[in-house]
A and B are shown apart, each in its own frame.
Chain A
Amino acid sequence: MDAYNVEPIESVEKSKSKTTKTILVVDDEPDIRESVKMILEMNGYSVVMAINGDDCLEKVNEYKPDLILLDIMMPGTPVTEVVKKIQDIKIAFMSVVRISDARKRGLCAQGNIVDFFQKPFNVAELVERVELILSE
């Protein structure tokens, strides 16, 4: 529900400034979504949220985000399938799963996967690394 409430505001903001980068936050946990959204918005990014892999694909088409912060373990279409369909947008994983496990599942092979945030993440580090990713 939250996701739909914020849509109109974002599209307005987006039209206001072209330099504002859009980040798609995908997580099935509402509190995590909300927290990440708060952090990123307060650092000047425009944030769209999706609640699972299928929702993520829809939002990607709709908003064309600059970066996707993607949880690995979510109900619905497995993330391995989801990432295959997104080839031209930067993806950073956010997961409680360790990076070594993610690599084992072959999740980090794709070229557009740029970072991995271990949950629980550090706020300052998240902001710093997102900034770095989007400045490249």
Chain B
Amino acid sequence: MKIKEIDLKNIFLSKLNRKLTMLFLIVGLVAPSIAIYYFYQITISAMPESISVEQSALLETAAIMIIILIAIDAAIIGFFVSRSISKPIKKLYNATRQVEKGNYNIKIDINTKDEIAELAQAFNRTTATLGKMEEERREIDSAKTEFLSITSHELRSPMTPMKAQLQMLEEGYFGKLSKKQKESLEIVVRNADRLDNIIVDFLEISRIEAARLKFNFRETNIEETVRDTVKLMEAFAKEKNIELVLKIKNLPIIEADPDRITQVLRNLINNAIKFSKETSKIEISSETKNDHILFSVKDYGVGLTPENQIRIFEPFYQVESAARRRHGGTGLGLAICRGIVESQKGKIWVESKEGYGSKFSFTLPLEPIRKIEPIKVLFSQKSSIDRKIREEFKTMLGPLGLGEFEELKSKNALGKDDIIDYIDSLIQLHIFDTKNGIVFKNKIGQIFGDKKENINGTKIIHGISLKW
């Protein structure tokens, strides 16, 4: 019973099937109707009046019966003919959907020995190639992660005797050092430490990418964790006379890894201190919202340009090389923060206004995510942004747009402000009317993350909704 139902449903769901059957039915009705009408006319006119009156009812019934039978026949034939076409197409469609989902193991079995069978074979070959490419991509990906992990370990082993010997020198194991020797040694030690930090960060990234990041989930008092972290960072803040202001609202005790929360918070507070002026303040807040805890660190420092806001979580992304050099750091801190937060299915983002300050926020789900997933930390957003801009140029300007895009790219003028200027010039040249210009500008703005969907679903605009 059930099988029949599904069959019926399938028949009616296939549009091609329905269309062709209808077509056959109509042809099956019209063609014999015309033919029989003529035949009827001829028969009637050939017969004497008396017989024709008698026979006409019978003839009419016979004619209608014949028409109906032919029509039904045609419909049945049409149904099977169209089914022989629509069925393999349906198969192909389902298989394509599977490929769309990333299942490349699919093979279609169509043996109709016609063009559709050829199409199916071509499809099978294509999916096989795609599957091979996907497998290769995965292999390369894991090789990259593995390479990163092994090299980091290998790089770390020579650090051990090196640092030990340096410390021995420093601590006077081999006699007192002259002032110059001490200065020289200080530089070596500082850079050895820096190198070691980079290696440690690399290892961390390789762990994040391979989903091998260790989480030690346990009953955690979030309020305590936040307070302890802030207390720890106060010593660093004091050096620049910066006040750390803590705002805490109904924080629960949940199962989480406090060390990871501290790691992210420390990193954000550390950055905030680095980029704040002396005697300013940093606000750290934490509160429970729906199904997550929201943490944020807000400073009144140098702030970030819109471009920098999107790319700041990329590894080694340099906001301002001079300032960075002054501040030290490995350039991997925020990338690792993103990895830690996203591994736990949280979100991390920044809102900032240049010259006024930045606010970094991240969320932590109340329910711990036990299955840690690999996160592509080393993935750069730049190419994806460029690609989106290119698409937008193509849709807004047509084929002409690609040339324009390449020209802007060659001038290294694909920043948000550059493109806005460019659109303004198009409006001035009357290539665009003002309305379309605004649409274009908005789309570019969106690519650069101007309007970002907040996690609560409310729209916020960077730098405008924030009160500095």
Contacts and interface: CB of A to CB of B under 8 A. Distances in A.
Query: A and B: partners?
Result: yes
Interface in A59-93: none
The interface residues of chain B, by DSSP majority, are classed as: helix
B161 interface: yes
Interface in A7-52: 29, 31-32, 34-36, 38-39, 42
Interface residues of B, number: 18
Contact of B164 (A96, A98, A121): A121
A39 B160 contact: no
Interface stretch (B95-103, B151-159, B356-364, B409-417): B151-159
Q: How large is the interface on A (under 10, 10 to 19, 20 to 34, 35 or more residues)?
A: 10 to 19
Contacts of B173: 38-39, 42
Interface string B147-182: 000000100111111111101100101000000000
Given A38-B173, A96-B153, A100-B214, A123 B168 contact: yes
B223 interface: no
Interface in B33-85: none
B153 A123 contact: no
Contacts of B153: 96
Contacts of A100: 214, 216
Contacts of A123: 164, 167-168, 171
Nearest to A33: B161
A119 interface: yes
B160 A124 contact: no
A124 to B, nearest CB: 7
A29 B161 contact: yes
B160 A119 contact: yes
Given A100-B214, A120-B163, A38 B157 contact: no
A122 interface: yes
A80 to B, nearest CB: 19
Contact of B161 (A32, A42, A101): A32
Given A35-B164, A96-B156, A124 B171 contact: yes
A122 to B, nearest CB: 7
A120 B171 contact: no
Given A96-B153, A123-B168, A34 B214 contact: no
A34 B160 contact: no
A120 B214 contact: no
Contacts of A29: 157, 160-161
B196 interface: yes
Given A38-B173, A100-B214, A124 B161 contact: no
Contacts of B163: 120-121
Nearest to B169: A123
Contacts of B171: 123-124
Given A42-B173, A100-B214, A124-B171, A35 B165 contact: yes
A39 B161 CA distance: 11
Given A96-B156, A96-B157, A124 B216 contact: no
Nearest to A104: B214
Nearest to B161: A31
Contacts of B157: 29, 32, 96, 119
A35 B161 contact: yes
A124 B168 CA distance: 9
A108 to B, nearest CB: 15
A74 B168 CA distance: 25
A123 B161 CA distance: 10
Interface in B109-158: 153, 156-158
A119 B168 CA distance: 15
B137 to A, nearest CB: 29
Interface string A90-129: 0000001010110000000000000000011111100000
B165 A120 contact: no
A94 to B, nearest CB: 8
Contacts of A32: 157, 160-161, 164
Nearest to A118: B160
Contact of A120 (B164, B168, B216): B164
Contacts of B168: 35, 38-39, 123
B195 to A, nearest CB: 11
A79 to B, nearest CB: 16
Contacts of B164: 32, 35-36, 39, 120-121, 123
21 contacts: A29-B157, A31-B161, A32-B160, A32-B161, A34-B161, A35-B161, A35-B164, A36-B164, A38-B168, A39-B168, A96-B157, A96-B160, A119-B156, A119-B160, A120-B162, A120-B163, A120-B196, A121-B160, A121-B164, A122-B167, A123-B171
* Closest 9 A/B residue pairs (Cβ): A31-B161, A123-B167, A35-B164, A120-B163, A120-B160, A119-B160, A35-B161, A120-B159, A32-B161
Given A29-B157, A96-B156, A101-B214, 12 more contacts: A29-B161, A32-B164, A35-B160, A35-B168, A38-B173, A96-B153, A96-B157, A98-B214, A100-B214, A119-B156, A120-B163, A120-B164
